[in-house]
Amino acid sequence: MLIYVHRNNQQLGPYSAAEVRTQLANGALSVHDHVWWHGRSDWIPLGESELMSRNFKEPPGPSRPRPPKDPRLSILAVCTLIANAGCAVGSFAAIIMGHMALSAMKEEPTLKGRNLAISGLIIGYVLTLIYVAIIVTYILLMPEFAKQAQEAQLRQQVPTPSTNAPDSATNAAPINP
């Protein structure tokens, strides 16, 4: 028996029944394609024809790519830059939010703002290093500042010689011969 297939407004064939089943298994044909052979009065869907066994299921078609979502800007990436405008706590928060934003972008590739997150991270790390350097410098120089302050207090407590005070050498009593 020679079988003709109607697919996408084209007539294909003739095929043998084994060829039709093989092409159906390979995905080249679908159960929705129409078939006809000598002795049939009209075209019928392949899935409704006698060619199909009772347990046959159509193989899945090629996977269609999901339509891309509209890209969105990551709020965390924006907050990373804004947080750096604050104090030291802001730079710590910027570092945390920057890493969270990059993680979210890995999980959801449609998120935009990778450059913002990276910029915020860099600024956050630089500001944190500056804050740490200032604190360390202050701690290291604190004993020197304390020593200078103590010396200044001691200088204020020691009386300075006055010009109005009598001088023992000049105001001594005259010696009589």
Of 51, 63, 52, 59, nearest to 26 by C-alpha is: 59
Same domain, 141 and 90: yes
Is residue 65 in some structural domain?
no
Same domain, 35 and 96: no
Same domain, 44 and 78: no
Same domain, 40 and 83: no
Specify whether the CB–CB gap between 97 and 120 falls below 8 A: yes
Q: What are the two backbone dihedrals, phi and then psi, of residue 4, each rounded to the nearest 5 degrees?
A: -110, 145
Same domain, 78 and 139: yes
Take residue 36 and report the two structure tokens written for it: 């006809």
Count of domains forming the chain:
2
Is residue 140 in some structural domain?
yes
pLDDT top residue among 82 and 166: 82
Is residue 177 in some structural domain?
no
Residue partners of 60: CB distance under 8 A and separation at least 6 = 27
Same domain, 83 and 134: yes
CA distance 23 to 46: 12
Is residue 148 in some structural domain?
yes
CA distance 153 to 161: 18
Is residue 66 in some structural domain?
no
Same domain, 79 and 145: yes
Q: For 99-129, what is each residue's pLDDT tens digit? A: 999 998 888 877 888 898 998 899 989 988 9
Specify whether the CB–CB gap between 80 and 94 falls below 8 A: yes
Q: What is the DSSP string of 61-87?
A: -PPPPPPPPPPEE-HHHHHHHHHTTS-
Instruction: Evaluate if residue 146 carries a pLDDT over 70.
Output: yes
pTM for this prediction: 0.43
Q: For 5-64, what is each residue's pLDDT tens digit? A: 988 888 888 888 888 888 888 888 888 899 888 888 888 888 888 877 655 454 454 544
Is residue 162 in some structural domain?
no
Same domain, 81 and 136: yes
Determine which helix (DSSP H) or strand (DSSP E) holds 45, and give its type and residue range.
strand 44-45
Is residue 167 in some structural domain?
no
Residue partners of 45: CB distance under 8 A and separation at least 6 = 31, 32, 33, 34, 35
Same domain, 88 and 42: no
Using DSSP bridges, classify how beta strands 72-73 and 111-112 pair: parallel, antiparallel or unpaired: parallel
Same domain, 148 and 77: yes
Is residue 15 in some structural domain?
yes
Range of the domain at 90: 72-152
Same domain, 43 and 76: no
Same domain, 141 and 101: yes
Q: What's the mean per-residue pLDDT of the chain?
A: 78
